[in-house]
Amino acid sequence: MVAVCACTAITSPVLGSYMTYNGLGFNSQVRIHASGLLADNLKVPAGQLKVAYENMDYLAYCVDLNHYAGSAEVSLTNINTINNGDLVAWLYDTYADGVTNGIDAAALGVALWEVIYETDAAFHAGEGFFSVSENQDVLTKANVLLGSVPSSYTPSNGMMLLHSNQVQDVVIPEPTTLGLLGVGAVGFLVKHRRRHG
């Protein structure tokens, strides 16, 4: 089971299709405390989820603590439809590429949950409405990530939300951005091969 945040204002989906849940990537267990949410007082794996969407594989992160991980029909939605979506994008853009182990992945996942669910003015993954326990390494690292969160952020790389009413919502890099990067890489390789061939 993996827990994530429920989106309160999902609006005008950009695209609809099926998301397949293929298990976990790097992760580490934490106990969640968030009164009234499905995940409250549950020990769950925080970190990467392996999903497939539109014929592409992603390492996604859960943003919905009111559903379980799974496969379902989803809508591709703007990240700003969730609470502090800009800060979710900043955390992902800043730290996702540097994840190399379960503690890194779980710390990023916990930091994402904190900025989405916390009702206090300051972000701290061990205090407030949302908190985690039973994994000091993850808690410490999550608080390091949270210590540098800006007051606002305009995503540059493209960040999207896969929203479902049945399973956890997850964040992924924008598929069109990845597609454009892939086309650019192919063009570069062809040009490079012609020059050196």
Beta strand 43-53 pairing with 15-33? antiparallel
CB atoms within 10 A of CB 25: 18
pTM given for the model:
0.82
The encoded tokens of residue 40 equal 């409250």
Q: Show pLDDT as tens, one digit a residue, over the chain (197 residues).
A: 444 433 333 333 444 699 999 999 999 999 999 999 999 999 999 999 999 999 999 999 999 999 999 999 999 999 999 999 999 999 999 999 999 999 999 999 999 999 999 998 899 999 999 999 999 999 999 999 999 999 999 887 678 999 999 999 999 987 654 443 343 333 333 333 344 44
User: b vs e for 115-125, b when ≥16 Cβ sit within 10 Å of the residue's Cβ?
Assistant: bbbbeeeebbb
